Amino acid sequence: GDSVTQMEGPVTLSEEAFLTINCTYTATGYPSLFWYVQYPGEGLQLLLKATKADDKGSNKGFEATYRKETTSFHLEKGSVQVSDSAVYFCALTTSSGNTPLVFGKGTRLSVIA
Amino acid sequence: EAGVVQSPRYKIIEKKQPVAFWCNPISGHNTLYWYLQNLGQGPELLIRYENEEAVDDSQLPKDRFSAERLKGVDSTLKIQPAELGDSAVYLCASSLVTQGEQYFGPGTRLTVT
């Protein structure tokens, strides 16, 4: 079945450091890919998405490129801030049928000043 | 625009007791989802509604879990009786259409003692 694998956390970075959170997927059909962020005490929020190969999603300084050849959707940010501390989830949904979102286990990011 | 509303935010019950969670989706959203999120894991779909019809409940443990969305708007998820292993966060999400962007509520954190 469809699945998402994320790098395990926690990830601890200093402010202004470069961030990469790896995400790879297995899916039938042609999935759409997502990154969600969950701040402490809040619900999941869509951070960015890409719906086809080579698309780049971007938002709030975060970017991720849909790489079909490596089945990856790695999240990057050039300079993290303390306010980016949260749990980040990679997810997919396929266009076949009505597949719901399939999530990775999440990666906790802590940014220290 | 109001987001997805869930209540209660927190619930502590003893095992074998019943519990119910309520969700009000974003106005006009036809599709409603209930997810289970265990600690340190990504959300897992329990049930998906298209209007008032449950179109995907394959992951719902039907011996103790039930859900309803009688008028195709708000929804209730019930557990009876609760077990220790049901301690988790129960997330509700909605989307305008199937395959559309899902918006999540803040979740209900259930603790079964």
Per-residue pLDDT averaged across A5-24, rounded? 95
A80-113, pLDDT tens digit by residue? 999 999 999 999 987 654 567 899 999 999 999 9
* A2–chain B nearest CA distance, Å: 12
Strand boundaries in B8-99, DSSP class E: 10-13, 19-24, 31-37, 44-50, 53-56, 65-68, 75-79, 88-95
Tell whether B7 is within 8 A of chain A (Cβ): no
Phi, psi torsion values for B85, nearest 5 degrees:
-70, -5
Largest CA distance in chain A: 46
Tell whether A97 is within 8 A of chain B (Cβ): no
Q: Which two tokens stand for residue A53?
A: 């190969």
Q: From the CB of residue B52, how many other CB atoms can be counted at a distance below 10 Å? A: 14
For residue A95, the model assigns a pLDDT of 62
pLDDT exceeds cutoff 80 at A64? yes
Q: Which residue has the higher pLDDT, B39 or B23?
A: B23
Q: From the CB of residue A43, how many other CB atoms can be counted at a distance below 10 Å? A: 19
B67-89, pLDDT tens digit by residue? 999 888 999 999 999 999 999 99
Residues 6+ apart with CB under 8 A from B61: none
- Using a CB-CB cut-off of 8 Å, the residues of chain A touching B99 are 93, 95, 98
For residue A13, the model assigns a pLDDT of 97
Taking Cα atoms as reference points, which of A93, A94, A113 lies closest to residue A103?
A93
The whole-angstrom distance between residue B84's C-alpha and the CA centroid of its chain comes to 18
For residue A66, the model assigns a pLDDT of 96
The mean predicted confidence, pLDDT, of chain A is 92
Matching residue, tokens 């039907």: B62
Tell whether B53 is within 8 A of chain A (Cβ): no
For residue B44, the model assigns a pLDDT of 93
pLDDT exceeds cutoff 60 at B19? yes
Matching residue, tokens 């209540």: B7
Per-residue pLDDT averaged across A1-23, rounded? 94
Percent of chain A with pLDDT over 90: 76
Comparing CB atoms, the residue among B98, B101, B107 nearest residue A98 is B98
For residue A99, the model assigns a pLDDT of 63
Contact B107 A43 (CB under 8 A): yes
Contact A101 B102 (CB under 8 A): yes
- Using a CB-CB cut-off of 8 Å, the residues of chain A touching B33 are 100
3-class DSSP state of A84: helix
- Band (pLDDT 50/70/90 cuts) for residue B90 is very high
- Band (pLDDT 50/70/90 cuts) for residue A9 is confident
